[in-house]
Amino acid sequence: MAEENRMTIDEEAVAGMDVNGDGHISKEEMDMHLEFKRRELEDQDAQRDAMRKMTWFALFGMLLYPATIMITSVFGLDKAAQIIGDIAPTYFVAISALVAAFFGANAYSNKKPTGGSAPAPKPAAPKMDRSARK
């Protein structure tokens, strides 16, 4: 009698793979799940790239802003240098707030639970009977 070699897998590892709910994960369901995970990783990679580009863009903008003021001064455009210098504090605060808001929103969205079960409630503290102290 030939012994059948069966493979097993943890239920947590295949959660969400059984799309049609028949209790069997077909090749199509497995491929669909793997494709979804691959796209999810690509999206996360693209998001990190976008964050990196935005950060570098903001950094270069903050570094080039004072250079722009100096260049306008060198070319004798003192009025332009004055105007650019006057809006500098607003520019720096706005760019910093934009980057901080983007990173904060991203960190918040990564911390939020993505479904599944709610966290287990904390056990209630034991109640003390005040009459027992007398």
Is 2 inside any structural domain?
A: no
Q: What is the pLDDT along the chain (134 residues), one digit of tens a residue?
A: 456 778 777 777 777 777 777 777 788 888 888 899 999 999 989 988 988 898 888 889 888 888 888 888 888 888 888 888 888 889 889 988 988 888 888 888 878 765 544 444 444 545 555 555 54
Residues 55 and 66 sit within 8 Å (Cβ to Cβ): no
> What type of residue is 120?
A
For every residue of 79-116, which 3-state class applies, written as one string? HHHHHHHHCHHHHHHHHHHHHHHHHHHHHHHHHCCCCC
pTM, 2 dp? 0.55
Is 130 inside any structural domain?
A: no
> What type of residue is 50?
A
CA separation for the pair 17, 26 (Å, rounded): 9
Is 72 inside any structural domain?
A: yes
**Amino acid 116: pLDDT:** 45
Is 23 inside any structural domain?
A: no
For residue 47, the enclosing domain spans 41-109
Is 134 inside any structural domain?
A: no
Q: What angle do CA 98, 101, 102 make, to 5 degrees?
A: 85
Q: Report the domain count for the chain.
A: 1
Is 129 inside any structural domain?
A: no
**Amino acid 127: pLDDT:** 52
Is 90 inside any structural domain?
A: yes
